[in-house]
Structure 1
Amino acid sequence: MLIKIVVGGLLLLMIYNLFRAMLIMIKDDPDQPPMSKFIGRRVLISAAIIVLLLIAIATGLITPNPRMF
């Protein structure tokens, strides 16, 4: 159950960074941090989620769906 909460929290953080980048893109304020900072964070969080899921599957914390269809 803990792994699901962590993945859910990381997904929410990823969506937050996506919207922060969108707001910076819309406002186009030179005093704001660059949009690439938030996009880079989003990519890093996505990679962390994938690694976390692979480790959880390898250790048996979660099991993938055995059915293909």
Structure 2
Amino acid sequence: MKVKAYIHSLKDHEHDRHVLGEAEIIECIGDNRYLAEVNGVRCTAIFNFFTGAYYVDDVYGIQKEAVNG
């Protein structure tokens, strides 16, 4: 499913703010851990229940292989 998410690589470092972008949540791979895709890059994501938003880590959470649980 396509969602608006805070994407790590889009962060506004000058003002220390997260920036919304579009990501696709592909599947749940653990407790509050998701496989997401941003601009053709598969990476990990979490859902923050307090903010009601996904946070996608396309910097440190890049997945090069299939992820199973």
Q: TM-score per shorter chain, which class?
A: under 0.3
Bigger RCO (CA 8 Å, 6+ sep) = 1
Q: Structure 1-normalised TM-score?
A: 0.19
If each structure's strand is expressed as a fraction of its own residues, which one has the higher value? 2
Select the structure of larger CA radius of gyration: 1
* TM-score between both structures, scaled by the size of structure 2: 0.19
Quick check: which one's helix share is greater? 1
